Every structure is written in C-alpha cells, then in structure tokens.
Amino acid sequence: MALPSKERRNFYLFIILVLTHLILLSIQVPLNQDNPLIKQAFLAIVTPVQARLSWLWQGMESLWTDYVFLRKVRSENQRLEAENLLLRQENLILRQILEKLEKEVEIKERLSQLTSPLVVASVIGSDAGNIFQSLILNRGSQHGIKADMTVLDPEGNLVGRVIGPVLRWSCRVQLITDEASGTAVITSSRGISGVLRGDGRGRCYLDYVLVTSPEVSPGEEIITSGLDGLYPAGIRVGRIISVSVENSLFKKIEVDPFFQINGLRQVAIIRFDLNRL
C-alpha cells in the first residue's frame, strides 16, 4: 500500500538524516591512535604546500647568505689590493733612496723622514672632454696631498702628477698622455735624453732627440731622468714603438706608456720629493 506523499517525504528526510549522521560519525573514527581521518585529509593537502614554501625559504636564505659572504670577500680583496699596492710602492721608493745614500748614519737620518711616504687613492672620475688628459682621485689636502706630487700605477709606472687646485677630499692628476704635459726622460739602455709629450689619444712622443743622436730602437724602455724637477729619476714610463726621420732636426719617436687608463682603479701618490733626499 503506497504511503501518502507527506508521509513519504518524512520517511525520505529521516533516511537522509540517518545517513548524514553515520557519515559524520565515520569521519571522526580514528584510523590510528593519533590521527583521525579529517586530520589526515587536512595534512594531505597542507603538507605539500608547506614543503614547497619551506624549500623556497631555504633557497632565499641560502642566496642571501651567499650574497653577504661575497660582499665580505670583495671588500677584503679590495683592502688587500690597497695594502699590496702600498707595500710595492714603498719598496720601490726605499730601493731608490738606498741606492743614492752611502753612509749608514745618513741612511738612518734620511729614512726617519719617511713616515707614510705614500698614499693609496682610488680613481673616481676622468676629464669630461678627454679621458687621456686627467683623472680625479679621492684624496686631497686632508690627506697631505699637494700639487706636483708624483702619481704611479700599481706596477710602479708613471701615471702623471697632481695639479692644482687640490681640494680637501679630492685632487686632479695630469696624465703623461695629455698634450700639455712634459716629462724629462731618458732611454734606459743608452741614456739618450728627451722630453716626453702626450698626443691626447693614449700615446706619447719623445721630442728633442736629434737625428745625429745615437740610434734608438723600438722596444727600448723610457724612464724619468729627474732633470725637470717634477718627477724622481728612474721611474718606468713606457716603451718605444716606432722611430722615423721626417726631414727635420729631430727624430719622430712614438712611445707606448706602460700605464693603462682602462681598468686603472687605484694609484699611489708619492708625498715627498725624492730629488731632495
């Protein structure tokens, strides 16, 4: 006998409520002593996400640690480069002084004057019109820098001289490749003297060498003579790359300077006059 529609609806509702109750009870039935089914389902969803986030965090932490380490290594390398440059230049200067001195008493007296004879400076700029004319250094009058002090590269090669005005925290250096520069030099092998002038393009010319002078050849080194009173004698300047005679009283001698403007980051400034020692 069929149930009335109202009773049938109540019967179906009862069945649905019973099934719902059984399902909720089954969810709460523990699969083991610690983890109910609903907890395991939650962990199954969350755990992979958590693992991926943990992996990303560890990767970012590792990158940051490596970055900090590399910054420290770079800073330490720059400090060691500056110390190495300073020691090499001091060694060069002391050797030149000792070659000029004879008596032990005189040596001790002169060396006592050489407290901090060198200042290491960084290149912070160049001439806006021509990079072969001048450089700007981060050392000035506050560091004892004055006009006409000699500037060397890390290998002890001549770069140029400090020119005025010298500011408190910076100074300008006229390069030997500047067209307005002039440096008294000699050839290291034959002692032929002349004046080195820049061409404004990174090269130099050795002027005032008579065609009747002893022969000079490509490959010979040029060093300072000290006769101009600007630079100490014996500093390496460059190498002759060509020699020609063009119906003139003087030979045309092209010189490639040893110092290289490209990549020049640090220099040494000599804070005293070697010619007066």
pLDDT at 271: 80
pLDDT at 176: 96
pLDDT at 215: 87
Tokens 């990549």, located at residue: 263
Residue-wise pLDDT tens digits, 93-146: 666 666 665 555 554 555 455 445 788 889 999 888 888 999 999 999 999 999
What does DSSP assign to residue 223? E
Least confident residue range of 31-35, 123-127, 251-255: 31-35
- The answer to whether the bond into 165 is cis (omega within 30° of 0) is yes
pLDDT at 120: 87
pLDDT at 71: 75
Partner residues linked to 150 by β-bridges: 161
Residue-wise pLDDT tens digits, 171-230: 999 999 999 999 999 998 888 999 999 999 999 999 999 988 888 899 999 999 989 888
Q: List, in order of start, the domains of the chain with CATH numbers.
A: 183-257 (2.40.10.350)
Confidence grade of residue 31 (pLDDT, cut at 50, 70, 90): very low
- The dihedral through the CA atoms of 101, 103, 104, 109 has a sign that is negative
Read off the pTM.
0.62
Q: Are 122 and 153 in contact (CB under 8 A)?
A: no
pLDDT for residue 70 is more than 70 = yes
pLDDT at 96: 66
Q: Over 7-49, what HEC string results?
A: HHHHHHHHHHHHHHHHHHHHHCCECCCCCEHHHHHHHHHHHHH
pLDDT for residue 2 is more than 60 = no
